Structure 1
């Protein structure tokens, strides 16, 4: 039933740690954000190198096309205020190839790099161009690679956890049973939720890790039920629809948990694919998503130009170019300059880069009711304060 257990993609922790050690050794400076100063000065035209898995396997090539199309749509949108020239370099979905293409792009005069897709490749690219003071706007959501010259554009667990945990605490659902896989992604999710809880006043009443397999989920279900009965009033699941989420949605009610009286919550999109909305165990559940109005507007404009809907992650290409356009007026394109640009209007609403190279996005909170998605707390139009 759960087909995603064998396909979860995450970089090896050892590889990321090794690459990060090189990044931090070469790039970290004292005081202020972790970055490379102001980076290269750009002229009237910003030369953007997009590192994409054009010849990658599986669905990578389709995603690459969507990211490129979205980036070119953004370049057209900002044409009145900035001239963006985009050159695509094929990484073939390989980290070593991505690093080589990045060096070629810098030699060819690139002012900034957009991509690559995954965190191992992004970390390799960051190291490869570190001495060139070139910023890398990665499509990854892995915050472990952020910092120095690498920024992450992907939707992070930290961002989502902050939104959903803060909202749940305000609604009196702050006694949370946290359920996560015993793997790298699950541990990142666990840490994000714990950090969000410490800031919001919520309490993690129990943490239930599980082996990332069908048997692991089956064995964890009784522990989750017991933890709820011992004082939890909410369950936060870190898994997605391609992984353990459907199995938890089925087995928790079957094991005696009244999911209508406990607040079910998720760190991932529960509306993708739409079939996920049909699970009885998720009715009344909460999850976070980008501003639906902004997303619908972007999707419509993308379809009008390209003849079809973008990939779910396609909007990241649009966001990258909007961030570059917002920074171009300063005449600089380093990571510190991209951070200093502040709030940017992207494909799914407002976002900004934080001092540590991660991203904050304005998110809405939605509830599943009668197999439909209802926004119960809209995404803010402005991001407050100095970020989390």
Structure 2
């Protein structure tokens, strides 16, 4: 969880650690699996299905999330009706080379699919290691650059969030946007996702303003942001920063500089409800951001807490989702239940935080709610969808 810090300056200092933790490691997409690899091994749906869970158990910086991921996977196992999964846990140590070795070991020992690893570089290495075996990898990473071939990412993506927000904003009559992002890897990923989503939803990108990843860089960018909005007539501003980075500073300084939230639609890629102090900032009022399905999320967290005596890590639901998807497919009794075609079926799956589906390009789409801030409180403007059409699960 993000700590509640007393000032935007303190929040900014936390950003580097958060960005690294979320696995936004730049990788060479060409090193993921070969095109067409990972069609999937044949399985016997009437026998236990060996599933390898790769987590960084011995990584001192990620041990907590590793145990939470394992707990969530076991919680999902207990929810499967009539499906037998033999879950085997392998420790990557948070190391890419070790992840590759463990992936090969897991497949040699019979694993039909790999769930994990957590970090992008490790997931990329694991995927390459088992590509020739036709085994698919459901990684917990949110790094789209590693997706493709036999590697699928379960982590929430900027593309998904940007598309949901701009689709909604377009329906509300918003037609143009200025993108604001820090000059770092996470900021570049966010900018690209917003640009793509804008083109797909008929929204004009009126300009892009970047800033040096520092307190002074953020402050100096604010006058440029206002100038760009004024000169282009853009009706919206899209912030890529999160609550541990430049977001609090921007939400404080931009309204003070005359960028009124009542005239310009603020929106952001990150959640604005954690920590709660963000909700009282001037720029947050009336802004758009997304949330996972609140009801599904609350139900998962309640079950997890009741079972393990503590709240789950924010990423724990990804392991639950992986097991839920595998279980739903095996329940159909098909020998190709773990093939690319099955994993990417369009109706999707029910997960810890609502509905989700895996895209053929290795990324994912999650059902998100559109939220805003009114009187310093979160208000849902548009609920998360309950399905993607079709039969679903």
TM-score by length of 2: 0.90
The reply to whether residue 300 of structure 1 matches residue 302 of structure 2 is yes
The reply to whether residue 57 of structure 1 matches residue 66 of structure 2 is no
- Measure the CA separation in 2 of the matches of 1:166 and 1:384: 18
Q: Given the superposition, is the C-alpha separation of residues 155 and 222 from structure 1 closer, same or farther in structure 2, using an over 3 Å criterion?
A: same
TM-superposed deviation, 1:282: 1.0
Unaligned runs of 5+ in 1: 30-34
TM-superposed deviation, 1:330: 1.9
The reply to whether residue 104 of structure 1 matches residue 105 of structure 2 is yes
Question: Where does structure 1 differ by over 3 angstroms across 4 or more consecutive aligned residues?
Answer: 10-13
Unaligned runs of 5+ in 2: 1-8
- 8 Å CA contact 2:160–2:364 kept in 1: the answer is yes
> Please, which of 16, 36, 40 is the counterpart of residue 6 of structure 1?
16
- Measure the CA separation in 2 of the matches of 1:177 and 1:216: 18
Q: Secondary structure at the match of 2:103?
A: helix
Q: Residues 23-73 of structure 1, C-alpha deviation per residue, up to 9 Å, x if partnerless?
A: 34xx213xxxxx432334345211111111112133x11111111111111
Aligned to 2:388: 383
Moved more, 1-10 or 373-382: 1-10
- Measure the CA separation in 2 of the matches of 1:108 and 1:52: 17
Aligned to 1:270: 272
Aligned to 2:30: 21
Q: CA RMSD in A?
A: 1.7
- Measure the CA separation in 2 of the matches of 1:346 and 1:221: 39
Aligned to 2:372: 367
Q: Secondary structure at the match of 2:344?
A: helix
- Measure the CA separation in 2 of the matches of 1:351 and 1:136: 17
Q: Residues 293-340 of structure 1, C-alpha deviation per residue, up to 9 Å, x if partnerless?
A: 111111111111111211111111110001111222322323333113
Aligned to 1:209: 210
- Measure the CA separation in 2 of the matches of 1:162 and 1:384: 18
Q: Secondary structure at the match of 1:352?
A: strand
Q: Residues 52-108 of structure 1, C-alpha deviation per residue, up to 9 Å, x if partnerless?
A: 1112133x1111111111111111101x23111212111111111111111111111
- Measure the CA separation in 2 of the matches of 1:6 and 1:363: 26
Q: Given the superposition, is the C-alpha separation of residues 341 and 320 from structure 1 closer, same or farther in structure 2, using an over 3 Å criterion?
A: farther
Report how many residues are paired. 372
The reply to whether residue 331 of structure 1 matches residue 338 of structure 2 is no
> Please, which of 359, 362, 367 is the counterpart of residue 354 of structure 1?
359
- 8 Å CA contact 1:36–1:336 kept in 2: the answer is no
TM-score by length of 1: 0.92
Moved more, 275-284 or 88-97: 275-284
TM-superposed deviation, 1:183: 2.2
- Measure the CA separation in 1 of the matches of 2:60 and 2:373: 34
Aligned to 1:116: 117
Q: Secondary structure at the match of 1:74?
A: helix
Moved more, 135-144 or 258-267: 258-267
Aligned to 2:3: none
TM-superposed deviation, 1:384: 4.8
- 8 Å CA contact 2:31–2:124 kept in 1: the answer is no
Aligned to 2:157: 156
Q: Secondary structure at the match of 1:49?
A: strand
- 8 Å CA contact 1:50–1:87 kept in 2: the answer is yes
